[in-house]
Amino acid sequence: MIDIKFIRDNPDIVRSAIQNKKGKPVDIDELLRLNDERKELRQKIDEINRQRNEAASKRDIEGGKRLKEELAALEATHLDVEKRFVALMILIPNIPSPDTPIGADESENKILREVGEKRSFGSYSPRQHFEIGEGLGFINSDRAGEVSGARFAYLMGDLAMMQFALLNLSMKILTDEEILKEIAARAGLKVSTKPFIPVVPPYMMRPAVMNRMARLDPIDERYYFEKDDEVLIGSAEHTLGPLHMDQTIPEEQFPIRYVGYSPAFRREAGSYGKDTRGLIRMHHFDKVEMETFVKPEDGYVEQDFIVAIQEHLLNLLGLPYRVVSICTGDMGFPDQRQFDMDTWMPGQSTYRETHTSDYMGGFQARRLSTKIKRNDGTSEFVHMNDATLVAMGRTLAAILENYQEADGSVRIPKALQLYMGKEVMTPLK
């Protein structure tokens, strides 16, 4: 949710944001009119309440009764206006940053840079990750299909071990201040290098709280347990973000950084037939996720730092990737600025999205009521960032494809060898 004052002062910016983000059209004039109306009604209600308090203290029973009836009518009107106001307010997306490309869909995303050398495989034509993985016994999709249904897989043997190695490596990076300092220095960023706090967050949450994260929609994408009124998280972000809801936090405690490890559950409604094989599009995958809370003035540099961390990891793994600035029509509803990292998949001969970095500004914080208390006594909403560090399925797929050899074997990236104690993956068949 954005500030109604901002909407009143900048209606045209809001209108073009809605249009550029392909949001549902909102009648801004009606929204502002409803805001005036609700404020006016609120003032009337306040005045009657004042008179009612006065009557009560004077034990004026008759006057009190009369005011009570008057109030009931006003409150009914107010409630109605308020509902209509909120219904429009929640349709207003976050305003894209000035450097966000304007575009209708992903074809208009802007590629900022391509990094890393794409391997030449010579006469050998590289296979897709699921061919490699199933061939060596690392991925069992057939049995998962029978046991769990489509879009599930068993990760076996060294591929399972590699997931834990990736977890260890990424946790090491985020909790070691020396490493973070190097990353910041190399990227030329003046930013706090305060380490991330590791978190294993809850995997289920109340829909009402997910809604405060502006992540409940599209509801078709969520697994919902009606009996318990719980949804499965689609990302650790969903339960990391509300860690500070309804809190006001002193200025000196920022930045606050968390790294969560959790499964991500996605129904993949509406993506039937897309990426049906392998690990690219799963109902469940595990993910290392960053979530940070910063002072408003530090929001953009924090995101730059997060992107630098993501690139650091991809470089360590020796995976070629590109950094993409997501255009207005393709970016998330609560996002102010979004970057994706697409990793090169030689088997598919294309880049696939493996990372995303979302800067929300104060959009989520306003709904969550997470505030910063300034040293001068004022308070304002904190700014929030969330981003992938490792999405396991897709990263494992990228490693299989990039590290395959003509003889059918798969080497292990140097950065993971330490954690796996070997240089080549051991086939199960």
Partner RNA sequence: GGAGAGGUGGCUGAGCGGUCGAAAGCAGCACACUGCUAAUGUGUUGAACCUCAAAAGGGUUCCGAGGGUUCGAAUCCCUCCCUCUCCGCCA
Q: Which residues here bind RNA, judged by CB under 7 A? A: 39, 42-43, 45-47, 49-50, 52-53, 55-57, 59-61, 64-65, 67-68, 248, 379
Q: How far apart are CA 1 and CA 365, in angstroms?
A: 9
Question: Containing H/E element for 350?
Answer: strand 350-361
- Least separation, in Å, of the C-beta of 64 and RNA? 2
- Least separation, in Å, of the C-beta of 46 and RNA? 4
Write out the two tokens for 313.
């990891």
Nearest 5°: phi and psi at 365? -60, -35
Nearer to RNA, 362 or 413 (CB): 362
Angle between helices 28-57 and 11-20 (to 10 degrees): 120
Which residue type does 162 have? M
- Least separation, in Å, of the C-beta of 5 and RNA? 8
Nearer to RNA, 42 or 284 (CB): 42
- Least separation, in Å, of the C-beta of 6 and RNA? 13
Tokens 């088997």 locate to: 347
Nearer to RNA, 25 or 377 (CB): 377
Nearer to RNA, 202 or 427 (CB): 202
Q: How far apart, in Å, are the Cα atoms of 333 and each of 64, 296, 327, 361?
A: 47, 19, 12, 12
- Least separation, in Å, of the C-beta of 296 and RNA? 15
Nearer to RNA, 22 or 295 (CB): 295
- Least separation, in Å, of the C-beta of 240 and RNA? 18
- Beta strand ranges found along 206-332 (DSSP E): 224-225, 230-232, 247-250, 256-265, 284-294, 321-325
3-state secondary structure at position 381: strand
Nearer to RNA, 221 or 230 (CB): 230
Q: How far apart, in Å, are the Cα atoms of 427 and each of 159, 160, 418, 422?
A: 10, 12, 19, 13
Q: How many CB atoms lie within 10 A of CB 377?
A: 6
3-state secondary structure at position 169: helix
**Cβ proximity of 184 and 192 under 8 Å:** no
Nearer to RNA, 59 or 113 (CB): 59
- Least separation, in Å, of the C-beta of 379 and RNA? 5
Q: How far apart are CA 9 and CA 270, in angstroms?
A: 38
